[in-house]
């Protein structure tokens, strides 16, 4: 292959999958990994991709903190479908934890309001969404209000959480990375989410496909620490195969 042919091959693969591996490109193009890295460097300098630890993606792997008022306007239909699938997992008389974020807010809104349930949450908008549900008891965590996520974080929330044990955690994240695990853009929220995982039997991640291959500042957990991911059908084959190979259940809404 010529340099131009290699660059076209790499960009075509990226467009199809959103992710390419240096090792796989080396094998498929029959060139050394040194050559592939040079090609990726040139393409990154032209702002055509982003390099990261032996691979490249079509979008920046790093996410910034955004307010819920901004997040609720993107991927709306995908979040609704994810929420509806997650609501099917609810059983009567469970005690569950719901994290913060627009996807779990959509989930809270999708929960049948006539089902007996106990919900523990740090998200104030989740609490408000369940206020009119007479059969659902809501336990609101207290702490420092993080306005951008409409939730509480900090020592008091974590201290309160330590007094409860729940069957399922429904958690949204800002990033799902194969090498870096689950992340969010705020370190205090990440720390609370980690504590939530430790307080439940089963952790369920609700995240649209745009979150895959992304990284936030605060690390929550490794992928091996979770049980189920519910996402939309836009998830690439690459991530689908890798996640299932790790033994993590995957539902595409």
Distances 252 to 67, 104, 107, 220 between C-alpha atoms, Å: 26, 16, 15, 23
Work out the percent of the chain whose per-residue pLDDT is above 90: 74
Residue ranges per domain, the chain? 3-57, 68-252
Q: Inform me whether the pLDDT recorded for 69 exceeds 80.
A: no
Is the Cβ–Cβ distance between 59 and 215 less than 8 Å?
no
The reply to whether domains 3-57 and 68-252 share a CATH topology is: no
CATH topology of domain 68-252: Rossmann fold (3.40.50)
Question: What is the structure's pLDDT at 70?
Answer: 66
Question: What is the structure's pLDDT at 141?
Answer: 96
Question: What is the structure's pLDDT at 175?
Answer: 93
Average pLDDT over residues 135-159: 93
Work out the percent of the chain whose per-residue pLDDT is above 70: 96
Average pLDDT over residues 130-151: 93
Q: State whether CATH 3.60.15.10 applies to domain 3-57.
A: no
Q: Inform me whether the pLDDT recorded for 159 exceeds 70.
A: yes
Q: Inform me whether the pLDDT recorded for 99 exceeds 90.
A: yes
Is the Cβ–Cβ distance between 133 and 112 less than 8 Å?
no
pLDDT-derived band at 68 (thresholds 50, 70, 90) equals low
Q: Inform me whether the pLDDT recorded for 74 exceeds 90.
A: no
Question: What is the structure's pLDDT at 60?
Answer: 75
Q: Inform me whether the pLDDT recorded for 127 exceeds 90.
A: yes
Q: Inform me whether the pLDDT recorded for 18 exceeds 70.
A: yes
Question: What is the structure's pLDDT at 31?
Answer: 93
Question: What is the structure's pLDDT at 19?
Answer: 80
Mean pLDDT of the chain: 91
Question: What is the structure's pLDDT at 222?
Answer: 96
Question: What is the structure's pLDDT at 71?
Answer: 66
Average pLDDT over residues 12-20: 84
pTM of the model: 0.80
Q: Inform me whether the pLDDT recorded for 53 exceeds 90.
A: no
- Which segment of 30-44, 49-63, 142-156, 212-226 scores lowest on mean pLDDT? 49-63
Question: What is the structure's pLDDT at 142?
Answer: 94
């Amino acid at each position: 292959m010529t340099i131009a042919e290699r660059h076209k091959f790499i960009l075509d693969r990226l467009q199809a999958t959103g992710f390419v591996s240096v090792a796989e490109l080396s094998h498929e193009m029959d060139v050394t990994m040194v050559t592939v890295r040079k090609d990726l460097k040139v393409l990154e300098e032209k702002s055509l991709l982003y390099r990261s630890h032996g691979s490249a993606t079509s979008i920046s792997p790093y996410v910034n903190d955004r307010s819920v008022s901004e997040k609720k306007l993107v991927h709306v239909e995908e979040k609704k479908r994810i929420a509806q699938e997650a609501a099917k997992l609810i059983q009567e008389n469970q005690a569950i934890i719901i994290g913060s974020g627009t996807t779990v807010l959509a989930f809270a809104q999708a929960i049948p309001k006539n089902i007996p349930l106990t919900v523990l949450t740090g998200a104030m908008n989740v609490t408000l969404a369940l206020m009119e549900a007479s059969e659902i008891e809501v336990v609101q965590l207290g702490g420092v209000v993080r306005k951008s996520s409409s939730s509480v974080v900090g020592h008091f929330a974590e201290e309160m959480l330590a007094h409860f044990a729940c069957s399922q955690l429904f958690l949204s994240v800002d990033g799902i990375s194969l090498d870096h695990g689950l992340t969010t853009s705020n370190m205090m929220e990440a720390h609370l989410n980690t504590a939530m995982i430790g307080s439940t039997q089963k952790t369920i991640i609700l995240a649209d496909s745009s979150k895959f291959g992304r990284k936030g500042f605060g690390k929550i957990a490794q992928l091996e620490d979770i049980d189920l991911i519910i996402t939309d059908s836009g998830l690439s084959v690459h991530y689908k195969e890798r996640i299932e190979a790790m033994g993590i259940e995957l539902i595409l809404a």
